[in-house]
């Protein structure tokens, strides 16, 4: 009987250790109700969802993620994104977050597609905010899934870049990604404290993820809230091409919005989100 008790204690310890050894993200939980997992975009913290959570937490239990290497969360070793994905699945199963909604912006949206492709029965629905299953296809002509190595001249240049040059580069990018000038400052502050190796190698992880065929495995409803820059026709053609294998998808296009839809069109954004999660 004593031996059996010891084994039970050891088992509980091992289970607890597996839960608390998750290092790929930090999670803040707010509200009560049906669970929603909120994933930020690349370089951002969970604070990108502050306004969204203020509303959703009134009726839902919001699990707000910040990924390793961003904000104050310590970095982890590569491969960064696949580790995040594995640990999210463990987090959901361990906490028994049955039929959770996934909401992800940019990288977080791509991660949501990956999760729903790999675990088609684990989640309730997806809300994707301006994200694609294959980001590299936007940048590489005739992209067919070829892997980008971690070590390449571009990576070395960015790793060696001094902080002033790094800040200047991000400030320029942010001006295209967000039309809200006050929120640009917030985004730039997050980028400024990002772990440099995570910023470089983590971005390569994202580019090396091509889910255009995998999304055919998704069984749950998917809603996309898309930006309309540089122009609506270009954006619509891109989404049509990248999501052609998705069985069920509904796309809303936000007028006068860049990549950070929740910042550029906050009222429109919340109206659509509330429509989908209630």
Residue 158 CB neighbours (<10 A): 17
Regions of the chain short of the pLDDT cut 50: 1-20
**Closest by CA position to 201, among listed 77, 59, 95:** 77
For the chain, list the domains and their CATH numbers: 26-277 (3.40.50.1820)
Question: What would the two tokens of residue 142 be?
Answer: 């005739």
pLDDT given at position 5: 46
pTM of the model: 0.92
- Convert the pLDDT of each residue in 82-138 to its tens digit: 999 999 999 999 999 989 999 999 999 999 999 999 999 999 999 999 999 999 999
Long-range contacts of 110-113 (CB under 8 A, 24+ apart): 110/135, 110/206, 110/209, 110/211, 111/39, 111/81, 111/84, 111/85, 112/39, 113/211, 113/214, 113/215, 113/218, 113/222
**Closest by CA position to 211, among listed 125, 86, 127, 118:** 118
68 touches 198 (CB < 8 A)? yes
**Closest by CA position to 268, among listed 227, 238, 229:** 227
Which one-letter DSSP state was computed for residue 189?
Answer: H
pLDDT given at position 8: 40
**Calpha distance 277→98 (Å, rounded):** 15
Total residue length of the chain: 278
Question: What would the two tokens of residue 83 be?
Answer: 């580790």
202 touches 69 (CB < 8 A)? yes
């Amino acid at each position: 009987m004593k031996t059996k008790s010891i084994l039970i204690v050891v088992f509980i310890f091992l289970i607890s250790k597996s839960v608390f050894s998750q290092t790929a993200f930090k999670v803040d939980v707010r509200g009560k109700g049906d669970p929603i997992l909120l994933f930020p975009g690349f370089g951002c913290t969970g604070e990108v969802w502050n306004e969204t959570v203020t509303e959703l937490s009134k009726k839902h239990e919001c699990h707000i993620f910040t990924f390793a290497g961003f904000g104050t969360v310590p970095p982890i070793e590569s491969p960064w994104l696949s580790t995040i994905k594995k640990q999210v699945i463990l987090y959901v199963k361990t906490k028994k977050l049955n039929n959770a909604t996934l909401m992800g912006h940019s990288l977080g949206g791509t991660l949501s597609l990956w999760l729903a492709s790999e675990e088609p029965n684990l989640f309730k629905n997806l809300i994707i905010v301006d994200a694609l299953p294959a980001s590299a296809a936007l940048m590489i002509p005739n992209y067919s899934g070829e892997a980008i190595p971690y070590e390449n001249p571009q990576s070395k240049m960015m790793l060696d870049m001094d902080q002033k040059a790094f800040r200047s580069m991000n400030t320029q990018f942010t001006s295209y990604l967000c039309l809200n000038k006050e929120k640009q400052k917030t985004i730039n502050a997050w980028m400024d404290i990002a772990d440099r190796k995570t910023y470089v190698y983590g971005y390569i992880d994202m580019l090396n993820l091509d889910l255009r065929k995998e999304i055919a495995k998704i069984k749950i409803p998917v809603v996309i809230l898309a930006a309309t820059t540089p122009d609506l026709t270009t954006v619509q053609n891109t989404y049509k091409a990248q999501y052609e294998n998705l069985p069920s998808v509904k796309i809303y296009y936000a007028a006068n919005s860049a990549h950070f839809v929740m910042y550029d069109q906050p009222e429109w954004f919340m109206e659509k989100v509330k429509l989908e999660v209630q």
